[in-house]
Amino acid sequence: MPAFGRPGSLWRRRRRVRLGFSLPMSGGVPSGGNGRRQRRSQPESLTALAGPVAATCFPPATRSLCLWKGTLLTRFRFSAAAATVVSMTVVAFSFMTAAPAFAHELRTVGAYQITVGWEVEPAYVGQTNSVELFVHDAKGTALDDIGANGLKVQVTTGSQTSDPLAMKGAFDPDTGLGLHGQYLASIIPTSPGDYTFHFAGDINSQKIDEKFTSSDKTFNPVTDPTAVEFPAKNPTISALSASIGQLTPRVDNARSVGTAATASAKSAKNSASTATTLGTVGLVVGIVALLIGVFVGVSGRRRAAA
């Protein structure tokens, strides 16, 4: 009987057309007889790659489709895992590369790139902080040595300016601690508002005279920490200063009143002492006068008797 007329051949042809590829007959087709070649089995690598997906296929005629799906699913899982590993590597590398914080100002000064801001941001009133400076060359290499003279910074807020503060390198080559190219100057901001950092000195003999001011586009201004305090809201230094300013006149007035009261008491004491002295003198005088009177009276009686 021709292959076309064999039982089930029409169904297989329809399945081939529907699936887009030939499905193997269970047990294969023997060569010879009808002149058709026996289909080769799926490669072992493909079967191994498909894994347990092909083993669960039923009926066996759909094994090729299962192998194809299993291979595709395995490759998809492998690609997703590879993408995850790459993403984690990129994130880890970004944390390891010691990049400056976001709220900093980057500026190219001569042959160097300078990045300036607060070490701790947001910067709060009364909290220990530092003026932070990163120095890189034109190639982006961090500089841990900027020369013997180095840099100093003056901090200005309002009408007040600090003394020059030395910028000290944060990286310790002996222990490996700290960040490459980072320089710090410790400071405790005691007033909210915008701050200006004025750097002067030199970087490897290149003169530096630059000012950086806090703003929305550079680094953060100093703010009160009330919004983040918990559980108690402690008064800020500025609030305490204002309260002290309000109490000072009252204290001075009370001191004046106390001084006046002390003087009055002292005057009253002096007056009382004077009165006591005068009273004592008057008493003594009275006693003397009485004695004199008694003596005179006795003397007069004696003369009259004689």
- My answer on whether 118 and 77 are in the same domain is no
Is position 45 within any domain? yes
User: What residues are paired with 184 via a beta bridge?
Assistant: 132, 168
Is position 293 within any domain? no
Is position 141 within any domain? yes
Exposure string over 230-259, b if 16+ CB within 10 A, otherwise e: eeeeeebbeeeeeeeeeeeeeeeeeeeeee
- My answer on whether 112 and 76 are in the same domain is no
- Phi, psi at residue 134, to the nearest 5°? -110, 135
Lookup: tokens for 200: 């002067």
Q: What is the pLDDT of residues 26-39, one digit of tens each?
A: 444 444 545 555 55
| Predicted pLDDT of residue 46 | 47
| Predicted pLDDT of residue 130 | 98
- My answer on whether 16 and 52 are in the same domain is yes
- My answer on whether 111 and 203 are in the same domain is yes
Is position 280 within any domain? no
Q: Which of 96-100, 130-134, 269-273 is predicted with the least confidence, judged by mean pLDDT? A: 96-100
- My answer on whether 71 and 166 are in the same domain is no
Q: How far apart are CA 165 and CA 10, in angstroms?
A: 93
Looking at per-residue pLDDT, the higher value among 185 and 90 belongs to 185
| Predicted pLDDT of residue 292 | 83
pLDDT band, residue 263 (cuts 50/70/90): confident
| Predicted pLDDT of residue 92 | 54
Is position 72 within any domain? yes
**Domain around 114:** 105-228
Is position 128 within any domain? yes
- Answer for the pair 181, 116: CB distance below 8 angstroms, yes or no: no
Is position 248 within any domain? no
pLDDT > 70? residue 283: yes
- My answer on whether 64 and 158 are in the same domain is no
Question: Half-sphere exposure (CA, 13 Å, Cβ side) for 110?
Answer: 11
pLDDT > 80? residue 94: no
Is position 119 within any domain? yes
- My answer on whether 23 and 129 are in the same domain is no
Distance spanning both ends of the chain, measured CA to CA: 202
- My answer on whether 71 and 121 are in the same domain is no
- My answer on whether 114 and 209 are in the same domain is yes
- My answer on whether 66 and 109 are in the same domain is no
pTM of the entire structure? 0.53
Looking at per-residue pLDDT, the higher value among 68 and 194 belongs to 194
CATH number at residue 150: 2.60.40.3340
Q: What is the pLDDT of residues 139-163, one digit of tens each?
A: 999 999 999 999 999 999 999 999 9
Q: How far apart are CA 179 and CA 235, in angstroms?
A: 35
Q: Which of 87-91, 112-116, 293-297 is predicted with the least confidence, judged by mean pLDDT? A: 87-91
Q: Domains in the chain: how many in total?
A: 2
- My answer on whether 11 and 111 are in the same domain is no
Q: Which of 70-79, 117-126, 204-213, 237-246 is predicted with the least confidence, judged by mean pLDDT? A: 70-79
The residue from 228, 259, 291 where one domain ends is 228
- My answer on whether 75 and 111 are in the same domain is no
